[in-house]
Chains A and B, each alone.
Chain A
Amino acid sequence: MIRLQNIEKVYRTDTIQTLALNSINLEVEKGEFLSIMGPSGCGKSTLLNIIGLLDMPSKGSISIDEQATHKFSDKKLAQFRNKKLGFIFQSYHLINDLQVLDNVELPLLYRDSTAKERKQLATEALEKVGLSNRIKHFPSQLSGGQRQRVAIARAIVGRPEIILADEPTGNLDSAMGNEIMEILLQLNRNEGTTIVMVTHDENMAQKTHRLVRLFDGSQVQ
Chain B
Amino acid sequence: MLKHLFKMIWNKKKQNSLLIVEILLSFMVIFAVFSFGLNSYSNYAKPMGIDYEHVWAINYNNTLETKNADSLKLFYQGLVRNIKAMPQVLDASITSANIPFSNSHMSTGIKYKGEQISQINNFWVDENYPHTLNLKLLAGRWYNKADHVPGQQIIVINNVLKERLFGNADAIGKIFGNYDDKNKIKIIGVVDNIKFDGDYQAPAKAMYALYDTSAYHWLSKILVKVSPDADAAFESRLYKFMANSLKNSNIEIEHLSNKLTAYNKFTLVPLIILSIVAAFLIINVALGIFGVLWYNINKRRGEIGLRRAVGASGNSVSYQLVNEAMILATLSLIIGSFFAVQFPLLNVFDLPSSVYVIAMLLSIIFIYILVLVCSLYPGKQAAAIYPAVALHEE
Contact = CB atoms under 8 A, between A and B. Distances in A.
Interface of A: 45-46, 49, 52, 54-55, 74-75, 77-79, 81-83, 87, 89, 91, 93, 95, 97-98, 102, 105-107, 109-111, 115, 138, 154, 158
Among A77, A91, A93, A154, the one with the most B-chain Cβ atoms within 10 Å of its Cβ is: A93
Contacts of B308: 54, 78, 81
B152 to A, nearest CB: 80
B310 A107 contact: yes
Contacts, number: 78
A74 B303 CA distance: 18
Contacts of A97: 8, 11-12
Q: Which 6 A-B pairs have the closest CB atoms?
A: A82-B311, A110-B311, A78-B313, A55-B388, A107-B310, A49-B388
B336 interface: no
Contacts of A83: 311
A187 B149 CA distance: 110
A154 B310 contact: yes
B8 A98 contact: yes
Contacts of B1: 109
B311 A78 contact: yes
B394 A54 contact: no
Interface in B312-331: 312-316
B306 A54 contact: no
A45 B392 contact: yes
A109 B237 CA distance: 87
Contacts of A95: 8, 303, 306
A105 to B, nearest CB: 8
What size tier do the contact residues of chain B reach? Answer: 20 to 34
Nearest to A93: B306
Interface in B3-52: 3-4, 7-8, 11-12
Given A98-B11, A102-B4, A109-B1, A74 B313 contact: yes
Contacts of B316: 78, 110
B310 A110 contact: yes
A185 to B, nearest CB: 23
Contacts of B312: 78, 110
Nearest to B310: A107
B106 interface: no
B1 to A, nearest CB: 6
Contacts of B260: none
A54 B8 contact: no
28 contacts: A46-B388, A49-B391, A52-B309, A54-B305, A54-B308, A74-B315, A75-B313, A78-B311, A78-B313, A79-B311, A81-B311, A87-B310, A89-B391, A91-B394, A93-B302, A93-B305, A93-B306, A95-B303, A95-B306, A97-B12, A98-B7, A105-B4, A106-B307, A110-B312, A111-B311, A138-B11, A158-B310, A158-B311
B387 interface: yes
B309 A81 contact: yes
Given A98-B7, A102-B7, A115-B3, A54 B311 contact: no
B321 to A, nearest CB: 14
A74 B12 CA distance: 30
Contact of B311 (A45, A46, A49, A107): A107
A165 B311 CA distance: 16
Contacts of A52: 309
A110 B313 CA distance: 9
A105 B8 CA distance: 13
A198 B7 CA distance: 33
Contacts of B303: 93, 95
B10 to A, nearest CB: 9
Contacts of A55: 386-388
Contacts of A107: 310-311
